[in-house]
Structure 1
Amino acid sequence: MSFYRFAKTVVKLVLKPKYKVIGKGLENIPKEGPVIICSNHISNYDPPIVGITCPRPIHFMAKEELFKNKIFGFILKKVNTIVLKRGASDRTALKKGLEVLKDGNVLGLFPEGTRSKTGELKKGLAGAGFFALRSKATVIPCAIVGNYQSKEPLMVIFGKPVEMDILRENKASAQKVTDTIMNEIKMIKENH
């Protein structure tokens, strides 16, 4: 058993019952090939919650500050996390993200770049659009709906793929693509 699968099993046993996690739209995630999952960001628990819900292993990007704790940093590396230096264009992280997609794997992104303390969607950063335009990946919008403090179930909803062909044909900018993805996430949230 891989460390990722072991960690996913442990996290699922702890977090799924605690937050009554329900996954929806899993059929929208291709079983193989490159995929970018773009989700809203409301808590530090979002990466593991999306990770335990998705049927495929996800390579998340995480700010380098999280790797400073040696034990936590070791675990993050073992579960395919890519170190991201915030505040500047991190070419190494961009290259690693594109390699993940080129190898036919799943890249997990939180386009807002940081958690929303109110739960309201913030403007997404152009990075998500960059990866979508520079790869042939299927882009799946994902919405975490609910509240970690609530007694109601926390839903992780994977939407239908974003129509990238039209955006590519129209030579859309990375920011325009990110805005389109964020709009899809917003619609999923509003419909649930």
Structure 2
Amino acid sequence: MKNDIFQKLIYQLVSKLFVFPIYKFVFQGNLKGKENIPQKDCFIMVSNHGSLLDPPLLGHALGRNVSFMAKAELFKIPLLGFVIKSCGAYPVKRGIADKNTIKTACKKLSNNNCIGIFIDGTRQKNGRVNKPKQGAALLAFKNQTLLLPVAIVNSHKLLRFKFCIPFFSKIVIKVGKPVQPPKSSSRDELYSVTTKLQDSINNLIG
């Protein structure tokens, strides 16, 4: 209990003191669809992925403590590792079925915490959802938890240079309407929900 309270305190401090100025003043962050964010129930946030900064930017913008699955390697990067860990991220090993990661996600959901999943599993150069994995849908079925499609626009091109002068792209985060969890764990049902999430996110991106 004390650890949860401490974690939430650290999350809020990092979000407001570190992430907020980057989100608001560097990238001119803007949130659309705030009314679609559940305020009481936990949910699984499902998003596209274009930048290493996506987890803290999304977590701050949504206004809810969202724990992200993140590559284990990222926790070894000094500053980034501290930020994502403070924001509730937990490591996942790429290329293998990490049962501990799934157990951690289920435990967080059972404790009414929200989790975030990048549906492609890795960053995409065009910033869209291209080859979605079915893990989010399966996790939603196991926990009977709402899926919240979210698009983070322009994160794949945060920084550009023109005549050696840096230009920062404007970040827009768009929240879609929640999607109900699959009714079963059948291949067809998981595929249907995953495709619905992909279409929703890509439509939000435009």
Is the TM-score greater than 0.5? yes
* Residue 196 of structure 2 is aligned to residue 180 of structure 1: yes
Give 1:84's aligned residue: 92
- Map 1:38-53 to 2 at 5 A: 38-53=46-61
* Residue 155 of structure 2 is aligned to residue 148 of structure 1: no
* Alignment-mate amino acid for residue 132 of structure 1: A
Give 2:14's aligned residue: 7
Give 2:162's aligned residue: none
State which of 103, 122, 133 in structure 1 corresponds to 2:111.
103
| Residues 112 and 124 in structure 1, CA contact (< 8 A), matched pair in contact too | yes
Q: Between Structure 1 and Structure 2, how many residues are aligned?
A: 188
* Alignment-mate amino acid for residue 3 of structure 1: I
Q: TM-score if structure 2 supplies the norm length?
A: 0.82
C-alpha displacement at 1:70, in angstroms?
5.5
| Residues 60 and 107 in structure 1, CA contact (< 8 A), matched pair in contact too | yes
| Residues 147 and 179 in structure 2, CA contact (< 8 A), matched pair in contact too | yes
Give 1:115's aligned residue: 123
State which of 143, 146, 168 in structure 1 corresponds to 2:183.
168
Distance across 2 between alignment mates of 1:43 and 1:126? 21
| Cα deviation 1:148-174 (Å, max 9, x = unaligned) | 23655311011001133xx41695443
Q: What do you get for the CA RMSD once the two structures are aligned? A: 2.1
* Residue 67 of structure 2 is aligned to residue 59 of structure 1: yes
Q: Which runs of 5+ in 2 are unaligned?
A: 1-7, 160-166
Distance across 1 between alignment mates of 2:38 and 2:80? 30
CA 1:95–1:162: 2 relative to 1, 3 Å: same
Distance across 2 between alignment mates of 1:59 and 1:26? 19
Partner SS, residue 183 of structure 2: helix
- Map 1:9-48 to 2 at 5 A: 9=16, 10-48=18-56
CA 1:67–1:151: 2 relative to 1, 3 Å: closer
* Alignment-mate amino acid for residue 114 of structure 2: V
Comparing 42-51 and 170-179, the one that deviates more = 170-179
CA 1:90–1:169: 2 relative to 1, 3 Å: closer
| Residues 34 and 136 in structure 1, CA contact (< 8 A), matched pair in contact too | no
Distance across 1 between alignment mates of 2:205 and 2:79? 35
Distance across 1 between alignment mates of 2:100 and 2:123? 23
Distance across 1 between alignment mates of 2:109 and 2:89? 14
* Alignment-mate amino acid for residue 172 of structure 2: M
Comparing 118-127 and 167-176, the one that deviates more = 167-176
Partner SS, residue 2 of structure 1: helix
Distance across 2 between alignment mates of 1:14 and 1:70? 18
Q: Which runs of 5+ in 1 are unaligned?
A: none
C-alpha displacement at 1:84, in angstroms?
0.4
